[in-house]
Structures are given as C-alpha cells and as structure tokens.
Amino acid sequence: MTQLTLPAGMEIIGEIKPGFERVLTADALALVAKLTRAFEPRRQQLLAARVERAKRLDAGERPDFLPETAHIRNGDWKIAPIPKALECRRVEITGPVERKMVINAFNSGADSYMTDFEDSNTPNWDNQITGQVNMIDAVRKTISLEQNGKVYKLNDKIATLVVRPRGWHLDEKHVLVDGKRISGGIFDFALFMFHNAKEQLARGAGPYFYLPKMESHLEARLWNDIFVATQTELGLPQGTIKATVLIETILAAFEMDEILYELREHSSGLNAGRWDYIFSCIKKFKLDKDFCLADRAKVTMTAPFMRAYALLLLKTCHKRNAPAIGGMAALIPIKNDPEKNDIAMGGVRTDKARDATDGYDGGWVAHPGLVDLAMTEFKKVLGDRPNQIEKQRPDVEVKGAELLDFKPEAPITEAGLRYNINVGIHYLGAWLAGNGCVPIHNLMEDAATAEISRSQVWQWIRSPKGKLEDGRKVTADMVRAMIPEELSKVKQTVGEGASYDRAAQIFEQMSTSETFAEFLTLPLYEEI
C-alpha cells in the first residue's frame, strides 16, 4: 500500500490504491485541511440553521422573500463579466465521473459538460478518488480507455468542463481532520482546484463549478468565502473561479437575487434543477395537510408552481447579466421501440423549445444521443448568438404565493404508486452497488428523481389527500404489500442481487417510518 504524507491532524481511512497518490499529495491535502479548519464550523452552523428552518415549516410557516434583503433585490447591480469559455452553454450534458462516461460526455458535441461528484455518482471512496484521477487526465487531454477492444479518447473539440462537488449536507467519511469527518464538497472542490485550476487557465478556460442543494444566500456566501481563500492560497486572481448555482430547493427560489449577489465576483448564473426542486417542495411541506402532489409523471414544468419558478429564475438571471440554464430532460433514447422513442424525443424537443422560447440560454441532457436534438431547438431561437441574456422579461411578475401554488393534486394512481416503489428499489439497489446514474423505464434516474419517488410515497401515506383515484387511501400496509411485488419485477429486469433486497428493506423503512429522513443518500452512505 502506498504511503501518503498527511498534514498534522489528518487521518485517511480509505484504501490507498495504486494511482491514488497522484491525487492525495501532501500539498493538496494541506489545502483540504486548511479549508476544513477555516470553514467547517460555519458549515455546521448552516446545517443546524436548516434543521431549525425545517421545524418552523413543519409547524406551518410559509416561506417568502426576505424583507431584510429587499435592497439587494431592488438594487441595480450586475455579476462580474462571464469568461469566454462560459458564454455559450446552449446544451450541457451531465453525468458521473466514471472514465468512459467522462470521455463520451466531452466528445458528445455539447457546449459544456458537468462532471458530477454528486447526485449521479455513488460517493464511495473509489469513485471519488478515481473521479479526481479522471479529471487530472481529462484537463490535460491525456485521458483514454481501452475496453472490449475499443479505444476511447478525447476528440480535438470537446465540451467546456464544469465540476459539481457534493452539497453541504454530505460528509467525506474517509477523511478526518482533528478527529472529525470533513465536508464532501470542500474535499471534492479543493482537490480539483489544487490539481487543475492553473492548468485550465493555461489552456484558455478556468475552474468552473456547479453548486448544488443550497437553501439560502448565507450558504452561497460560505462558498464565496471558500473561493476567495482558495484563490489566495493558490496565487490565483480573485474572480478566477466561476460557479453556477442550482436552484433546486424551494427556499433558494425565494433568495435567487441574493445568491447571485453573494457570488457576484464568481457567478456564472443559475440553473433550474427541477427534479430536486420538486423533491424539496415535498420535503418542506410534508406535514402540510393541504399539500399533496399527483403522480410524479404529472408534475411537469407546466405545473403552476414550476412555471412560476422557471420564469422567476430566468428574469432574475438576465436582469443581472447572468446566464439562465434550464433543467434536465430525464428522457433517454429508446433503441428497441421506435414508436416509444418518437414520443420520448418529442418530450425532450418540447421541453427544450419551451426553455429556449422563454429566454433560457441553455439546458441539460443526460445522454449523448440527445445533444443534437436539444441543440437544434436552442439554435432555432438563438441562431448564431451564444446566449440570449439580452432577452429581459419585464412582463414576468412572480409573487411568493405563485411559487407555492402546488398543483396538480390529482390523479394519484395505483400505477403511479407502484412506479415510485419500483424506481425507488431499482435506484437504491444500483446506488448501493456503486452506480449512481441508472436508466430505469426509459428515464435517466439519479438521486434527485429517486428522492421524489421515496418522498411522495411517505407523504401520500400521511396526507388526508393521499388517496388513489379509485378512492382507496394510500397506507403503510398497502405500500408494504406492494414492495415484494415490485422487488420481484426489478429483479426480472436486473437479475438477482443482494443490494436489491437491501434496497427494498431501506425503501420500506424510509417510506413507512414515522420520521422523514432528510436525504436518502445519508443513511445509504453509511452502508457503502
């Protein structure tokens, strides 16, 4: 086993495989330790503030725009200029940090590629460190792979790299500083910055990030302060780092201006992270007797609360000269059924056409086979322009109540309930086996979509409105009876696997227990 030189007070309890020493160098780990000691207390305070806020929401409080930051919302300010490499982001492809997927995403024809250490990646030790190795090779264009007699390597023209570290709620349990687990996000960010920022600048781009799961502008301020400290530490000009924030919690939707303002020297806009956003709404209003959403498939971007969110995000960004990036079309090509494939592709086309026509500067896809289709829809509207930030939307006026106009409430169907159970078991089983990005029923599922499935079942059991369209009340016993049946269907698709039996147990526990688990990935992380 390779011996590492660790900073004083740091302990690594993950296996150091050959090649890991390229990432876990003494100087890189010193940066991790320094940032941890400087900022971990604030992360813990912010996580505690989340818990307090959640209690108030459970007790019936409704969020609204903050009176104390009205001067920021009403002020006339803009974010710092966007670097050339981030001006054109009509299509962004996303996916985990697995080597073959990294190469295929870079080569996909998308303008940018968000490589994901977060929701589409199981954050086991091996994935996190090999992901960093893959990034070091990708930035230097030396990444390649030989598999089943085929060689994968980068094309001359590749997508611009944007990296998503883990959210504030996730720890890195394999690294302790002064006896305590560190932040997964700081770990992912610091290692990437240390090894790649200067190399990226030398090659005409820079260190660009996507920041997930934030619930307030104070959480954005923490990231901004980490950026400032890291740039100082590495001798980089302030403002070198650029970050796009995913607005994927209902609370962040009320603080979009403030989030842009906190990161204004380092901002590259906002993204409408729709799947996590829906999950966040269910989670935050899970005890509200008047809140109950219909089948997952019925909650689309045209639902009133989603439409209000999408338009407010667009208007807020363009007012501040910031890019507005649309969310993920989770549909993927269906190779063996041309008829179903036409319907799925039509869904993606409609989604991207709506975003482009509204004024968005780009949108996400989860599969290389969708890049051309999405690009076509954006080019129809943008032509040769890299973005449409000049498209201001003075006509859009979104009130707080519109962000909370949660519809549709019906139908809730037995098929929809079974779908949620099936997807939940299938995804959790794959995640436990090390794969966080899974095609299920012709959709690309990641942690966000699985969270909707799990939280809906929990809420339908508890809400007086949680009734199937035939009048039956959704109950814990009904769900428990369906779980073995859906587990058996999952196994017919994927084969036997101990991780799926365990996944069914976890799904049952999480969907029927009295208390609601904040994130399904937290208990799962303890099992890998």
Active site residues: 164, 446
Amino acid type, 30 = A
DSSP assignment of 205-229, as one string? Answer: ---EEEE----SHHHHHHHHHHHHH
From its phi and psi, is residue 149 left (phi > 0), alpha (psi between -120 and 50) or beta? left
Q: Is 11 exposed, middle or buried (0-12, 13-18, 19+ CB in 10 A)?
A: exposed
3-state class of 467 per DSSP? strand
Can you state the angle between helices 125-139 and 99-106, rounded to 10 degrees?
A: 40
Helices (H), ranges, 59-183: 70-74, 99-106, 125-139
Q: Letter for the amino acid at 91?
A: V
For residues 366 and 377, give the distance between their C-alpha atoms in angstroms, rounded to a whole number: 16
What is the CB neighbour count within 10 angstroms for residue 38? 14
SS3 180: strand
Residue 447 near residue 520, CB atoms below 8 Å: yes
Here the contacts of 469-472 (C-beta below 8 Å, separation 24 or greater) are 469/410, 469/411, 469/412, 469/413, 470/414
The full length of the chain comes to 528
Q: Is residue 204 within 8 Å of 39, Cβ to Cβ?
A: no
The amino acid that residue 490 corresponds to is V
The candidate with the shortest Cα–Cα distance to 207, out of 248, 169, 246, 165, is 165
